[in-house]
Chains A and B, each alone.
Chain A
Amino acid sequence: MTEIPAVAPGLYDEMLRGEGARAHYQAYLDWLKKTPDATLEQKHREADTLFRRFGITFNVYGEEEGTERLIPFDLIPRIIPADEWQKLELGLRQRVSALNRFLHDIYHDQEILKAGIIPAEQVLTNQQFQVAMLGVDLPGETYAHITGVDLIRASDGEYYVLEDNLRTPSGVSYMLENRKMMMRLFPELFLSQSVAPVEHYPNLLLDTLQSAIEADSPCVVVLTPGRYNSAFFEHAFLAQQMGVPLVEGADLFVQKGCVFMRTTTGSRRVHVIYRRIDDAFLDPLAFNPDSMLGVPGLLSVYRDGNVILANALGTGVADDKSIYPYVPDMIRFYLDETPILNNVPTWQCRKEEDLNHVLENLHELVVKEVHGAGGYGMLIGPKASRDEIEQFRQLLQQNPANYIAQPTLCLSTCPTMVAEGIAPRHIDLRPFVLTGREIRLVPGGLTRVALRDGSLVVNSSQGGGTKDTWVLEGSPC
């Protein structure tokens, strides 16, 4: 009964191909077609009420303190067949291993710089490069314990890595809550299809964090900036799911070379801090002196190896847009393997040749600031006015090293419930990779969806929504 609109030409749709469905979506589409609109609408309202009641929200900066919003949740899942996921998983493992090797290398022997693979100034003058980390040995040489990798699928049907997030990637709580909601609303779908489980993620995370330090029953905590932070729900959620304390900076203090927390029975030693605050706010003695969020003296304890930070200090240097183009080279250099996942082709404006190409083709490229984030400080060529293009041309000529450029890739679409009914909307995917004694991940990730027609912006802070992500076990190759 439900109508599914056709796919626009030139787009890759996750569910539909030509007149029919892709094989791994067939069973779902059959179900969807015979499900009345009214049922879906009612489930949609139910999900909304439940999310609000559970308080599954994010806080919006720049608005009245404590403004909590729901992230719009879409009922139609993004489905990935098993074989496709297997390839993605291999690619993610490979990528994250190389990134961890890179971080260890640049804070130790800097072989990759000596070999001339990455220009030394790209790394050493990077704002995220932490001199304090030089020569510091971390257990297992692990820097990024938790990595969120943003993937898109382009019109050619191929996946591309858009960005690696190695600081404090968020969203995993929505991945877990979305699954819980779908199982509650549509139990029959889970009975008829084998959707790979993701619910054990908090166990894997706790195990990863505990194994990050050599200690008997190490004390793990989650460090949050507090309940006004946009991702506070996630911080509290993860602490609760792991059964560990959720602490704020003021709960911790440094004494005799160790970190302790204030408890009702006195002070208690802390071994591993899953920190959800940025480097600059971690230790007012070492970094931003005005920060009330961190713990004075934390850095020196950390450098002595008496506490573990996850992720390590200084991981940001590896997820910068100026380093991103080199990740395939890292894979070849450290692992001697061929990269499995594609990078988006990137022109580095600091190279004269690349700059010339970019200046000639501004109207069809996306130009991004190297340190920009959240969709700010960028030019989207095909959508920009003549004036905007000229303005960016000047910016580029003044400071070319501050910019990279990429072709405008069109994100794949997935049918999504919007006000007008079901319509295709652009999506991306953020799987979460855990690095401990081994690299582990749960099948799937967080699928974000741009809810406005034609929009490519999936960020929740800019009105994006989320979908449950299903990896089908034993689905056809």
Chain B
Amino acid sequence: MLSRTANNIYWMARSLERAENMTRLLDVSHNMALMPNSRGGQQELLAPLSITGRRDQFHARHDKVSTEALLEFFLFDESNDGSIFSCIQLARANAHSVRDRLSAEAWESINTTWLELRHRRHRSINHEGVKGLFDWIKQRSHEFRGAAYGTMLHNDAFLFMRLGTFIERADNTARILNAKLEVMAGERDSNQAIDFYQWNALLQSLGAYEAYHYSYTGGLSARNVTELLILSAQLPRSLRYCVGAIMEQLSSIEGSQGLAAKRLCSELHARLQYGEVDYILEFGLHDYLNDLLRRINTIGDEIHRSYWEGA
């Protein structure tokens, strides 16, 4: 397929996934900030800023960190290219320029989301409304995925879309884990209850709450949560799962391009497939995640080089 088209579809998927991830993150932060003993949720509220690397940008626009300011910044602020509004806008623009390669139902789904989001932006968002908005965005994301899955040819256009989704998702999972470690470290003296809510929140933001309780018995533990989110072969947001999916899409894309990406991806996947949680914890979770993030970035760069810069 046309290189530009592949690129647009890939970034459409990344932006959509980013919007969904942002929603999950805000949802959890919002929940945590409402907890009685979270000291106003300062640490929690800072998490989205550090995960997305936008602390400076935020402070340039808002004097102090508050739930309202944070929601404003991440929901509808057009000057923040990581806001949900900006992500959906970009995804829709990408989809628009390649609408001939999307199925009518997939295109209509994303176009309708965009139209409705603009409409919702006009109304002000309050604490009660924001929950509904989060649910709605997640639903729209599910709907698009379903429409694309169920109505598009599972050809290269589709593979590049999935590729974008999983690269973004792997990146997101690693970043969230990293940021949570920071929050937890800052609350070393805290009691068991707070720990419990922290782990719970983490699982919820990755849609893995039920999956955890299905996989493990005996309550929440740092070790098990880490194992699930990094090494699970079945959880769609675990790092192993995402990297496996990237590997799968890459090998299915037509042609012999993308060798470097394929090689790096297989290597990384092998590490995760044969990885052990005890080794990871011993190595240091922080360093392990940073190394992983760097590898995922390199894979992304190689995809760029071979599929849309090489031709």
A residues neighboring B (CB under 8 Å) = 52-55, 66, 226-227, 232, 236-237, 239-240, 245-248, 250-251, 261-267
Contact = CB atoms under 8 A, between A and B. Distances in A.
Contact of A263 (B1, B112, B115): B1
Nearest to B309: A262
Interface in B263-311: 307-308, 311
B210 interface: no
A265 B107 contact: no
B63 interface: no
26 contacts: A52-B115, A53-B111, A53-B112, A54-B107, A55-B108, A227-B96, A227-B97, A237-B100, A240-B99, A240-B101, A246-B5, A246-B100, A262-B2, A262-B3, A262-B308, A263-B1, A263-B3, A264-B1, A264-B160, A264-B255, A264-B307, A264-B311, A265-B255, A266-B255, A266-B311, A267-B311
Given A55-B107, A246-B5, 9 more contacts: A54-B104, A54-B111, A55-B99, A227-B96, A240-B99, A246-B2, A263-B2, A264-B160, A264-B311
Contacts of B100: 236-237, 239-240, 246
A245 B98 CA distance: 10
B51 interface: no
Interface secondary structure of A, over-half rule: mixed
B303 to A, nearest CB: 10
Given A52-B115, A54-B111, A264-B308, A245 B2 contact: yes
A175 to B, nearest CB: 18
B111 A262 contact: no
Interface of B: 1-6, 93, 96-101, 104, 107-108, 111-112, 115, 156, 160, 253-255, 257, 307-308, 311
Contacts of B108: 53-55
Given A53-B112, A247-B2, A251-B4, A264 B97 contact: no
Nearest to B109: A53
Contacts of A250: 4
Closest 6 pairs between A and B when the two form their complex, measured CB to CB: A265-B255, A240-B100, A262-B311, A239-B100, A227-B97, A236-B100
Contacts of A226: 97
Contacts of A247: 2
A66 B93 CA distance: 9
A68 to B, nearest CB: 9
B96 to A, nearest CB: 5
Contacts of B2: 245-247, 251, 261-264
Given A66-B93, A261-B2, A266 B111 contact: no
- Between B98, B100, B101, B156, the greatest number of chain A beta carbons within 10 A of the residue's beta carbon is seen for B100
Contacts of B311: 262-264, 266-267
A184 to B, nearest CB: 13
Contacts of B156: 264
Contacts of A264: 1-3, 6, 156, 160, 253-255, 257, 307-308, 311
B153 to A, nearest CB: 11
B292 to A, nearest CB: 26
Nearest to B115: A52
Contacts of A263: 1-3, 311
A53 B115 CA distance: 8
Contacts of A246: 2, 5, 98, 100-101
Contacts of A267: 311
A251 B1 CA distance: 11
B111 A265 contact: no
Nearest to A238: B100
Contacts of A248: 4
Nearest to B311: A262
Nearest to B306: A264
A233 to B, nearest CB: 8
- Between A54, A236, A239, A264, the greatest number of chain B beta carbons within 10 A of the residue's beta carbon is seen for A264
A221 to B, nearest CB: 9
A246 B100 CA distance: 7
A54 B115 CA distance: 11
Contacts of B96: 55, 227, 232
Contacts of B107: 54-55
A193 to B, nearest CB: 27
Given A53-B108, A251-B2, A266 B257 contact: yes
A321 B158 CA distance: 48
Nearest to B160: A264
A177 to B, nearest CB: 11
Contacts of B1: 245, 263-264
A56 to B, nearest CB: 10
Contacts of B112: 53
Nearest to B255: A265
Contacts of A237: 100
B309 to A, nearest CB: 10
A377 B76 CA distance: 44
Contacts of A266: 255, 257, 311
Given A53-B115, A54-B111, A240-B100, A262 B257 contact: no
- Between B5, B99, B101, B308, the greatest number of chain A beta carbons within 10 A of the residue's beta carbon is seen for B99
B206 to A, nearest CB: 31
A251 B93 CA distance: 18
A236 B99 contact: yes
B260 to A, nearest CB: 15
